[in-house]
Structure 1
Amino acid sequence: MRRSFTKRTTRKLINPMLEEEVSVTAPLNLEEKIAFIKEGLFLTDDLTIRDLVFNDRQIKLMFINSIVDVNNLQSNVIKPIQENPFGEIKEVVSGSEMINTTDLQVGLDALVDGYCLLVQEEESLFLISAPKSKTTHQIEPENEKVIRGSHLGFSENVMENVQYIRERITNRKVTVKYSHVGETTKTKYALISISTLTDPEIAKTIEDRISFIQADSIQSPGYFEEFLEDNSFSPFPQYLNTERPDRVVANLMEGRMALLMEGSPTALIFPVSFFSFFQTSEDYNTRSFIASFLRLIRLFSFITTLCLPAFYIAVISYNYEVIPVEIIFSIKSSLEYLPFPPLIEAAIMQFTLELLREAAIRLPNPVAQTIGVVGGLVIGTAVVDANFVSNTMVIVVAITAISSFVIPSNELSTSVRILGFPLMVLAALFGFFGIVIGLMITLIHMSKLKSLGYYYLYPIAPLDVKALKDALVRVPIWMMKERPRDLKPLYKWKITNPRGWENNE
């Protein structure tokens, strides 16, 4: 299996997603036809096969259950055949569009377009149209809103979620593997990949890790995350959570895998790098210089959230010389009557901010907005007037809070706020030297950290200059010709003829 994939990738001019297949019209028996179709769909688990009898001969009804309307199929195809088991197929199944062909390859391509396939011993095949209706509901994820782009989010039904992905990638190379986990709950989940792009080692690694899970109940992707991640005690998330089908599709096309679970609208994407958490769907719906500017702001907000309170403590406690004299007098006057040292002052404000944030999440939206206003204005003004906290500290904490909300990933945003506390302690003990030590330890940890065995800080460590095109900034899409090399995709090219029209002018 591995050798055949390697051989395919040596054909650099052929995209396996678009590669033309040879028509198969040679006479095959029924079992050989079924085997050919299964292999052509890469043994995907959402391929359903029904056994029927017509004219005293066995026939097979094949369809992809995630994109076919099963009720329509039952009433317009299966039931008429069962009630009228003799005659001509075209006369018995008359309520649906039907195409007659002898080419198995045509049948394969039609299956991913919402057709079902009637296979019989005879050479001819029948394609019957029975697609599910396109997605009509618009449930936009609350934590991943965009201005431009799709406003559709996943539901809590794993079959529907697979449908959303297949609607966006109408290609038979999309492979879905269903299974169950949890010895008591038997919760259904789906692993999704593109067989001609994803490195088989990724699929093998994740399947092996899942096979070792022995637990009574696995109820959400968050359970999977803790069972499967490389370092459970790292503050940094190692898998990407998303509720957006378009984001899952974009990562599948990079050569990654996704996990969907029954009862959860969240997909897990793996493996990912640190910079994946700063990419949003909107980055690719706006022009490159705007997307690059916004991405740099997100990265800057990460540094601000991590370092700003510690920087303030270091300046107040040790390093006055780094700020202008005029500002020193202003800060000193606001600190004159405070009963707490800067570390306690910062910790109180940060802890209060976390209380307000948790309260806003748990309460209904109208009440949560009121809590935000009360917390930001009333409490902030009161603690300053009571000389518990300085005006400068209120400003620092407010900027830190706003910066943390700029980070697209809620999990990473929470992690970086938690990391700010030990950094504040180091700043209070050693000043700027303590901040440098804390940042060095964090950077070393991130350099050693892996996501499913792949380096977390790629493409910075190890350095890959070409991959920087979609890391710190985003260059124009037509310049991002290759997929990330650390994923070892079976086909590396995303774009083979960028802006080809320029050659004709």
Structure 2
Amino acid sequence: MILTEGANMSSFYKKNRRKPKQLLSEKEEVIFEPLTLDEKVSYFQEGLFHTDDLKIRNVTFNAKRMTILFLDSVIDNRSLQTYIIQPLLEKEAGTIQDTVSSNSVNETLQLEEALSVMVDGHCIILQEGSEWITFISMPKIPSNRNEPINEKVIRGSHQGFSENISENIHLIRERISSPKLTVKYSSVGETTRTKYSLVYLSDLTDMDIVKTIEERISYIDSDSIQSPGYFEEFLEDNSFSPFPQFLNTERPDRVAGNLMEGRVALVMEGSPTVLIFPVNFFSFFQTSEDYNNRAFIGSFIRFIRLISFIATLCLPAFYIAVISYNYEIIPVEIIFSIKSSLEYVPFPPLIEAAIMQLTLELLREAAIRLPNPIAQTIGVVGGLVIGTAVVEANLVSNTMVIVVAITAISSFVIPSNELSTSVRVLGFPLMIAAALFGVLGIVIGLMLLLIHMFNLKSMGHHYLYPVAPLDIKGLKDTFIRLPVWLMKKRPKDLKTVYRWKTSDSRGWEKNEDTD
């Protein structure tokens, strides 16, 4: 069989191919007519899942229709207009190679090949009556590649998003160079008309998630949307929960990793922060650097973060409970040391802890608002001066200063700023419970917190997955991180179209064993 468009066409090609001109015999080959220009354009539209960053320009060249297709997010539009579209409009005759101003003009008969290079920064030129497909490289170069201030890493990519939505989509497409990556643009806010886009993999993501997000956004009736925080409050399942239900990041590699898991990203014009949903509680303890280090190191660091979460939440409350009620928990020698430091302190442990915690929050807020050089001075000098002064004035004990310092350091270890802030706030009710009921109060407070988390959802998905509901295989990337080659499937709760991420990626070991 002779196919002028290539031997391995997609289902689209098979559906749209025309009937044979002549049926010679069962054994003889059949010749199919080539696709028309409109059919080829439809092939690219369907192959790119009707993504909104696909742009189509029609011109007349050699007295025939010509169509130029390109992805707006990966193409340098100024170069395209200057070196390709403008010369074609002005000359109107000749060959494409002689007309356009580019050294990277290539041709192919394969629609699949043209589709695959399109996402790499090539524009596609289709001409009526010609079977050849011309593609020209016109990649976009982002104006700036700043490292995210809030998500720095030692090992790995140092790229960060900007405040331009097109550049941010380009950074994501650089990470996932697939025609299946779909971008859907829209706007919200009656007055501001804020532009945003939903990004997902059409062949992987559960479309029920996309429909849920689009439905919730359609209910937004506000005259102004100024930041992704507005979207969070309008879309989250429980607006009064202390826990963040959407993950926000400024890192393209982190967005790409979550998209490959089957999640959806929301990119907004004017903000370098991208929202990711749905997520679970353990997503807030994961960073890009976890996967850049070996599994043993990544697991150790992740375990440290979970310990820091518990310390930030419970350590001040535990200190209050021990001092007020439960002396028997700690050794006698330590009790005498603590009691001696409390001898001249006029306040009960709850007031003592509250003073130090609030002072720490004041220093933290001051450091954020001031310029960097002054902020560092405030953090170091302010902490030392205030800490020393309150101890010498017998307003707080030495032990309390140590407890608050450990709590502060632990809160800095938590990767998500939203979760870190939430945990610090939740520490105050636990301190009150500890002052009233001792360790029993802490246990009751934690039980109420767990009940709330069990019932909490993110875009309809369980917040504590894979712990509740329990999924043993899903625990491979939670408290610890197993090697990548052992994490063969995507999370079950996301209901992706296909779950397998990798199969036998270390098959070479079997070959070495047989040698």
Question: What range describes the TM-score normalised by the shorter chain of this pair?
Answer: over 0.9
CA distance in 1, matches of 2:328, 2:98: 91
**Match for residue 204 of structure 1 among 203, 211, 223:** 211
Q: What TM-score do you get using the length of structure 1 for normalisation?
A: 0.94
The letter for the 2-side match of 1:179 is S
Q: Aligned pair 1:399/2:406, yes or no?
A: yes
Q: What is residue 467 of structure 2 aligned with on the other side?
A: 460
Q: Is the aligned partner of 1:241 residue 2:248? A: yes
CA deviations 1:291-326 (Å, max 9, x no partner) are 101000000000000000000000011000111111
**Alignment partners' CA distance in 1, 2:189 and 2:243:** 26
1:503 matched to 2:506: no
| Aligned residue among 226, 236, 245 for 1:229 | 236
Inter-partner Cα distance in structure 1 for 2:10 and 2:392: 76
Q: Helix, strand or coil for the counterpart of 1:188?
A: strand
SS of the residue corresponding to residue 405 of structure 1 reads: helix
| 1: CA distance, partners of 2:314 / 2:467 | 21
Give the number of aligned pairs. 487
Counterpart residue identity of residue 90, structure 2: E
Code of the aligned partner of 2:92: P
Q: Deviations over 1:459-498 (max 9, x none)?
A: 0000000010100100111100000010001110000222
Is it true that 1:258 corresponds to 2:265 in the alignment? Answer: yes
- What's the counterpart of residue 484 of structure 2? 477
Measure how far apart 1:148 and its partner are: 0.3
The match for 2:289 among 258, 282, 285 is 282
Q: Name the SS for the 1:241 alignment partner.
A: strand
Matched residues, percent identical? Answer: 67
The secondary structure found in structure 2 opposite 1:466 is helix
Deviations 1:145-167 (A, max 9, x none): 11100011101101001111111
Counterpart in the other structure of 2:349: 342
Aligned with 1:357 (options 364, 381, 384): 364
8 Å contact kept, 1:185–1:218:
yes
Asked if the contact 2:120/2:139 (under 8 Å) is kept, the reply is: no
Partner of 1:14: none
Out of 252, 269, 276, the position equivalent to 1:269 is 276
Q: 1:118 aligns with which of 120, 125, 128?
A: 125
Query: Which whole-Å deviations, capped at 9, do the CAs of 1:353-402 have from their partners, x for residues lacking one?
Result: 00000000000011011111122110001001111101110000000000
- Report the AA paired with residue 127 of structure 2: Q
Deviations 1:200-231 (A, max 9, x none): 01100001111111111111111101100000
What is residue 146 of structure 1 aligned with on the other side? 153
Q: In 2, distance between residues paired with 1:232 and 1:409?
A: 18
- Bigger Rg, structure 1 or 2: 2
Question: Is 1:170 equivalent to 2:177 in the alignment?
Answer: yes
Report the equivalent of 1:427: 434
**Structure 1: how far apart are the matches of 2:9 and 2:256?**
22
* Contact 1:117–1:126, Cα closer than 8 Å, also in 2: yes
* 2:229 alignment partner, SS class: helix
Instruction: Map 1:126-145 to 2 at 5 A.
Output: 126-135=133-142, 137-145=144-152
8 Å contact kept, 1:76–1:96:
no
RCO higher in structure (CA 8 A, sep ≥6): 1
Structure 1's unaligned 5+ residue stretches are 1-18
| d(CA) in 2 for partners of 1:20, 1:260 | 34
Match of 2:373 among 349, 352, 366: 366
Q: Does 1:446 align with 2:459?
A: no
One-letter amino acid of the counterpart of residue 353, structure 2: A
C-alpha contact (below 8 Å) 1:100/1:124 kept by paired residues: no
1:177-218 Cα offsets, whole Å, 9 max, x none, are 111111111111111001111000110000111111111111
Partner of 1:33: 40
Q: CA deviation at 1:126?
A: 3.3
Mapped to 1, the partners of 2:324 and 2:102 lie a distance apart of 81
Q: Which runs of 5+ in 2 are unaligned?
A: 1-7, 18-32
464-473 or 65-74, which deviates more: 65-74
Instruction: Provide the alpha-carbon RMSD of the alignment.
Output: 1.5
CA contact (8 A) 1:182 1:216 kept: yes
C-alpha contact (below 8 Å) 2:317/2:431 kept by paired residues = yes
Partners of 2:404 and 2:158 lie apart in 1 by 33
- Asked if the contact 2:161/2:272 (under 8 Å) is kept, the reply is yes
In the alignment, is the contact (CA less than 8 A) between 2:204 and 2:496 conserved in 1?
Answer: yes
Q: Please show how residues 313-332 of structure 1 align to structure 2 within 5 Å.
A: 313-332=320-339
Match of 2:200 in 1: 193
Post-superposition CA distance 1:10-34 (Å, at most 9, x none): xxxxxxxxx9957958522222221
Which deviates more from structure 2 when the two are superposed, residues 391-400 or residues 137-146? 137-146
* Amino acid in the other structure paired with 1:241: N
Letter aligned with residue 100 of structure 2: V
- For 2:319, the equivalent position in structure 1 comes to 312
Moved over 6 A (4+): none
Shift of 1:83: 0.5
| CA deviation after TM superposition for structure 1 residue 110, in Å | 1.8
